[in-house]
Amino acid sequence: MEKILVLDFGGQYDQLIARRVREMNVYAEVRPYSAVPLDEIKEYKGVIFTGGPNSVYDESSPHYPKEILTLKVPILGICYGHQLTAYMAGGTIRSAGSISEYGKVELRCKKSKIFDGVPEKSVCWMSHTDYVSIVPEGFEIIATTENCPCAAMCDEERSIYGVQFHPEVTHTEYGKQILHNFVFGVCRCKGDWVMDDFIEKTVEKYKKELEGKRVLCALSGGVDSSVAAALMSRAVGDRLYCVFVDHGLLRKDEGDGVERVFGNMDLNFIRVNAQERFLSKLAGVTDPGRKREIIGEEFIRVFEDTAKSIGKPDCLVQGTIYPDVIESGKGDASVIKKHHNVGGLPERMEFERIIEPLRDLFKDEVRQVGLKLGLPEALVMRQPFPGPGLAVRIIGEITKEKADTLREADAIFRGELEKQPLDCKLSQYFAVLTDTRSVGVMGDAGTYGYTVALRCVSTDDFMTADWTRLPYEILARASARITNEVRTVTRVVYDVTSKPPATVEWE
């Protein structure tokens, strides 16, 4: 199988690079720079150096042996990877100072293999504080911006390229074309990898590794855990036990709905009602990271207790996907937020191992797997719901009263959006209960209630997202119903922040 190596130097979007390559039916894998010996590089058709938050001149920054440039394996450096390529080849990098570039910038490029089909002027996405000021010997500058004298460089004889901008994000107008040119034009890949290969290899892998073992699956009823359950069911059959934990922080009627869908499937379905247990652990806690840690640990404890009652399974399956991993921090990457199933896991667990069969997939890839496994389209295509549930949508201390308030407001908003088809794309939509109270008036009397924020985003991969331009009429109806039907709410606002700088969830 042809493979592209995405060499991870701590960038937040490294897996997005791999996803873009996979979209071309070429298998790409992300590996930490520190875990790939030089002698393994030749196994790949090409290598992509990711971005990262560091400076190449900092001795503690991630580096790689410069001999990689002599292996005759095509290389594409992105952002920090671009600077590192120049540094290893003898170029000079400087701080951009007050003229650092962030966001959309006009790119001017020259003819080159990686710019084939890209117009002379286009829009790219920049995010850097350093830049290549002098290119190494044998390289030429093939793109510039107003404030960046070397936005791209190449040594076409050795098939080595570097771009200061991020072609992997949708904001770069011809980013997909640039990556396509590298993968097919430079690396000469054929594009013969398909998702069926992932399913077959994953099932075979766990058939062998888990032979004779009993497996417990953490089933939330959401897309990720449902697909993980279906995948593992193929691997271990009736030795799989799917446990659904109702932690008191689900959406309105969610628990009963999950039981209706999965209770009749051949998955050894078990429902655990643990509302009081979770709410008591969360009492008085306001820090978002601590909330996730508590929920992550308590989930594990519930699973351990349940495992004892059914004969102590050896392994625990989770529906972790890559955005969970990358936002929780890994290697040299920064922590954005600790996901309950990654950064929130306790150090001590009674299971032999945690199994995460979807850990390297994006949401759209998970959905592809689900459809190929034969899961209902309505289940596979439903909008995501985080494992911590409403805990990440209640700002401040979590109480049953707040959870009940948010459940009602959220159900109203989702109901209004689902009444009729809309022209705009709706990837995820929900209500948030802020910790802000404000004065209102109802029936000629003053009130002092909560402010609810409505959130709706559109995205392809959940690594970046844009706020959705909903019709005012829908927002007006949702606001009127929430303030009239949910007595503890006096004000409704709409979140118009994209990701980045925000995340999709509020906590």
- CA torsion angle for 127, 131, 135, 140 (degrees, to 10)? 30
Contacts of 290 (CB under 8 A, 6+ apart): none
Neighbour-count burial of 244, counting CB atoms closer than 10 A to its CB (0-12 exposed, 13-18 middle, 19+ buried)? buried
Residue of 453, 451, 455, 476 lying closest to 467 (CA atoms): 455
Look-up: residue for tokens 């999965």? 262
Residue of 93, 50, 94, 90 lying closest to 70 (CA atoms): 90
Structure tokens at 10: 């701590």
Torsional class of 462: left (φ above 0), alpha (ψ -120 to 50), beta (otherwise) = left
Residue of 376, 371, 358 lying closest to 203 (CA atoms): 358
* Catalytic residue chosen out of the listed positions 2, 101, 168, 505: 168
**CA dist., res. 451 & res. 198, Å (int):** 45
In one letter, which amino acid is 507?
E
Name the packing angle between helices 472-485 and 400-417 (round to 10°).
150
Is 247 annotated in the active site?
no
> Hey, which residues does 138 pair with through a beta bridge?
none
- CA torsion angle for 206, 209, 210, 215 (degrees, to 10)? -60
Contacts of 111 (CB under 8 A, 6+ apart): 142
Considering only CA atoms, give the Rg of the chain.
25
* Catalytic residue chosen out of the listed positions 79, 124, 217, 315: 79
**CA dist., res. 335 & res. 345, Å (int):** 15
Structure tokens at 213: 């073992």
Task: Provide, for the chain, the percentages of residues in helix, strand and coil under a 3-state DSSP scheme, each rounded to the nearest 5.
Answer: 35, 25, 40
Q: How far is CA 440 from CA 104, 115, 433, 489, 504, in A?
A: 41, 57, 16, 9, 28
Residue of 142, 148, 110, 97 lying closest to 126 (CA atoms): 148
Report helix, strand or coil for 190: coil
Neighbour-count burial of 445, counting CB atoms closer than 10 A to its CB (0-12 exposed, 13-18 middle, 19+ buried)? exposed
Report helix, strand or coil for 311: coil
* Catalytic residue chosen out of the listed positions 2, 109, 154, 166: 166
In one letter, which amino acid is 137?
E
Other beta carbons less than 10 A from residue 264's beta carbon: 9
Kindly list the catalytic residues: 79, 166, 168
